[in-house]
Amino acid sequence: MYVPAHFAVSDRQALHELIRHRPLGVLVTQGANGLDANHLPFELETDGEGLGTLIGHVARANPIWKDVADGSQVLVVFRAEDAYVSPNWYPSKHETHKQVPTWNYRVAHAAGAVKFRDDEAFLRRVVGRLTDTHEAPRPAPWRMSDAPEDYMQAMLKAIVGVEIRIEALVGKFKLSQNREMRDRLSLGEALKRQGDTALGQAILDAAAGTNGAS
């Protein structure tokens, strides 16, 4: 990924936060049958050392776990908010007319060696973690124990685990950091007015130096 210095993010915590809040990653692999991309929800596990580990699962019917060898290098792309940027939102445009449209976004790329796991203990941990994370905000969270045990056994046999120890973590928060401050502030407010609240606030936070971007 091309990352100009003003868009680069080196803050590990900021990138981990993006992954946790936008856990549906694009797993890009190169296997015996060529390039492939799978959209999978991941859980990020951290132990205070290293860049963390991504865990998830694929359907057993998905050929990826046979096509891609254990230890192969893979890339997972996580994308947060994005939006088109109109030059009309920059005050400087109305003075100089020297602005063009662009697109703002926040992404994190995690690369590492993949390992496919077929042991029940790992699969239960993956499903349990995903379930606990996404059911927690609900008034009556669903638990694995809510389903009959024989049914859960059948469901677990229908999936294969994915484990990726992150070896490289690259972030790009393209939030108009290369523009004048007045343009950045105007853009952030314009995006919030049109409903792109999260991205607009991220731009304002970046302008204030509070979003973890380098």
pLDDT of res. 83: 97
The whole-number pLDDT of residue 48 equals 76
Q: Where are the domains of the chain?
A: 5-137+161-181
Give pLDDT < 50 ranges for the chain: 212-214
CATH of domain 5-137+161-181: 2.30.110.10
Average pLDDT of the residues of the chain: 94
Give the per-residue pLDDT at 213: 42
State the pLDDT at residue 97: 75
Residue-level length of the chain: 214
- Predicted confidence at residue 211, as pLDDT, reads 53
pLDDT computed for residue 166 by the predictor:
98
